[in-house]
A and B are shown apart, each in its own frame.
Chain A
Amino acid sequence: MSETILKSVNISKIYGKHIALDKVSIEIKRGMIYGLIGKNGAGKSTFMRIIMGLITIDEGNIELFGETDKKALQHARRRMGQSIETPALYPELTARENLQAQAANGGVSEREIDDLLHLMKLEHTRKKKAKNFSLGMRQRLAIASTLITNPEFLILDEPTNGLDPSGIVEMREIIQRLVNERGITVLLSSHLLDELSQIATHYGILHNGKIIKEISKEDLALETRQYVELETTEVQKAVTVLDKLGISDYEVKSKTEIHIYERLDDVASINRSLVLANLDVSRIGTTRQKLEDYFLQLTGGNSYV
């Protein structure tokens, strides 16, 4: 069984009368890319800040790299890196100087700076100050800055925020490369759920400060997979027809609705068989539930994520 990197048990954070986090428990194992999904104000950033030790908790426990003691936790945090919300950079410094400052903060050598500048495609910036960088460059520099201390666990809060489509793709590639080449475990949040779905291996859905669902990529694929949606008033009769056609992977969702998960390219033939069996088919067609729809279905709202 792989090592647990982060385990939070019943973490709560209360600001006055507002419960920002309500008994949040998650477990992240080595090698996971854990996508934290939630609306604005759901508590994603608060949770991440708590893990980084920037915010105190009112209730619950954190286990990091197997450490739970306050002092040991502080020490364990040296094995982590973070980029929370806006890229935290020194605007008056160049990319190299920013990395030098962070290397000094972490008490590590500067010898990886050139490699990181190259990895993040920032080697050409030379004397350009960070304040003159584009947002994409700043995001890349912020990630380089977190990598200078050789973290095993990376926390990235909205790393694609404000990036253009090519920047988003670039950031996704960078994260995937870090996971593949350096074996880094990642806790990631994003507004762009379909984007997140392309890299995350596990998901936690945070709603009003509570984790309402944890799901793996595989289970999510099952729950959001493509299917043929069949609407008829005679479900029992339709089931008999499907059985006769040799279709076994289907699910009766309600008195009028069946989801068929096989022979997706053969909708016309299924429809013909149903009609020939004197069934009233009010609707039939392939559909796929997007991660956004799945999220909205779980949170019971149509608010922006």
Chain B
Amino acid sequence: MFNLLAAEKIKLSQSKKLMIVIGIFLLLPIIQVVNTKVNVAYGKELVQVIDTVINGATGILMIDKNGLTILLVISAFISFFIGEEFQNGTIRNALSLGRSRMHYYLSKFATAAIVSLFGVIVLTAIGMISFSIAFGFGGVAEISNYVPYAIKTFSTLYLLILANVSIYVMISFQTKNSGVSLVWSFLYTIATGFLPNIFQQTEHFKHVSNWFTETFLFYYDFASPDGLATYPNMILVSIITILLSSTLGIILFNRTDIK
């Protein structure tokens, strides 16, 4: 497993895909802070519930503010990162050496998780710094103890992202093609992101929406006491999603013929 991770490190060291992902996560907060500053200069009043990030302290919610963008960028990265192994035939290099398919799958998942973590740390850190410079550090309303809140919130938000990473990895291993994986990952993100809105209108399917991590990521306020009270639910749903998708992904991958 560690050998496979070492190989992933070498592969990613020269990867343009990784550079693009980190570049997007570096630039995005800077563009957003400039955009917000211009809006404020034109008389717009910042409201935390709507704008999510309004100062340096609320910069910890950068993942929440950019949920859809993060998911789309990471899904594209994973689709290429895994799909190309099938398309270039390089997946054979490790598997034909008798490496366990489960280990191979998990090494890909771990790499995607680390890249995602690094990406969201960059996004959040740059967000906090740039919003602090533009609007001051300030604070989060109704939060008296900031550091524990920040750690808890960032961890929960990352876990919600990680649950999606797990789904994207499963999709990529099943489709075995970057392009097809990209399409299915996009459809999954869009469907689970916007179907809850429809489900919420019905009595029978209302509860279903809470089994998708996107519901929390797109529709919950992470700076309100109600949102904070839902963290255990979010963590539970994320962990179940990771366990189920990884188990299913590994079982299906074990039965897959490698061309």
Q: How large is the interface on B (under 10, 10 to 19, 20 to 34, 35 or more residues)?
A: 20 to 34
Asked if A84 contacts B98 (CB within 8 A), the reply is: no
B90 partner residues in chain A, CB cutoff 8 A = 88-90
Interface string of B38-74 (1 = CB under 8 A from A): 0000000000000000000000000000000000000
Asked if A92 contacts B7 (CB within 8 A), the reply is: no
Interface string of A51-79 (1 = CB under 8 A from B): 01111100000000000000001111110
Asked if A78 contacts B3 (CB within 8 A), the reply is: no
B7 partner residues in chain A, CB cutoff 8 A = 101-102, 104-105
> Complex Cα distance A145/B92, Å?
12
B204 at the interface (CB under 8 A from A): no
Asked if A105 contacts B99 (CB within 8 A), the reply is: yes
A80 at the interface (CB under 8 A from B): yes
> Complex Cα distance A55/B101, Å?
12
Interface on chain A toward B: helix, strand, loop, or mixed SS?
Answer: mixed
B97 at the interface (CB under 8 A from A): yes
B6 at the interface (CB under 8 A from A): yes
Nearest chain B residue, comparing its CB with the CB of A87:
B89
A85 at the interface (CB under 8 A from B): yes
> Complex Cα distance A80/B257, Å?
19
Nearest chain A residue, comparing its CB with the CB of B94:
A105
Interface string of A225-239 (1 = CB under 8 A from B): 000000000000000
A54 partner residues in chain B, CB cutoff 8 A = 92, 95-96, 257-258
Total interface residues in chain A, CB < 8 Å = 37
Residues of B1-53 contacting chain A, CB below 8 A: 3-4, 6-7, 9-11, 13-16
Asked if B98 contacts A88 (CB within 8 A), the reply is: no
**Are A82 and B16 also in contact (CB < 8 A) when A97-B10, A101-B10 are?**
no
Asked if A93 contacts B10 (CB within 8 A), the reply is: yes
A76 partner residues in chain B, CB cutoff 8 A = 98
**Are A104 and B10 also in contact (CB < 8 A) when A85-B89, A88-B93 are?**
yes
Residues of A216-249 contacting chain B, CB below 8 A: none
**Are A53 and B11 also in contact (CB < 8 A) when A88-B90, A92-B16 are?**
no
Q: Which of A55, A90, A149 has the most CB of B within 10 A?
A: A90
B100 partner residues in chain A, CB cutoff 8 A = 74
Residues of A161-183 contacting chain B, CB below 8 A: none
Q: How far is the CB of A74 from chain B (nearest CB, A)?
A: 4
Asked if A56 contacts B3 (CB within 8 A), the reply is: no
Interface string of B224-259 (1 = CB under 8 A from A): 000000000000000000000000000000010111
Interface string of A87-111 (1 = CB under 8 A from B): 1111111100100111011110000
> Complex Cα distance A77/B97, Å?
5
A269 at the interface (CB under 8 A from B): no
Q: How far is the CB of B15 from chain A (nearest CB, A)?
A: 6
Interface string of A24-56 (1 = CB under 8 A from B): 000000000000000000000000010011111
Q: Which of B6, B11, B94, B100 has the most CB of A within 10 A?
A: B11
A105 partner residues in chain B, CB cutoff 8 A = 3-4, 7, 93-94, 97, 99
- A contact residues vs B (CB 8 Å cutoff): 49, 52-56, 73-78, 80-82, 84-94, 97, 100-102, 104-107, 129, 145, 149
16 contacts between A and B (CB under 8 A): A73-B98, A75-B98, A76-B98, A78-B97, A80-B97, A84-B89, A86-B89, A88-B88, A88-B90, A88-B92, A92-B14, A92-B15, A93-B10, A94-B14, A104-B3, A104-B9
Which 4 residue pairs are nearest across A and B when measured between Cβ atoms? A77-B98, A88-B89, A104-B7, A54-B258
- B contact residues vs A (CB 8 Å cutoff): 3-4, 6-7, 9-11, 13-16, 88-90, 92-100, 255, 257-259
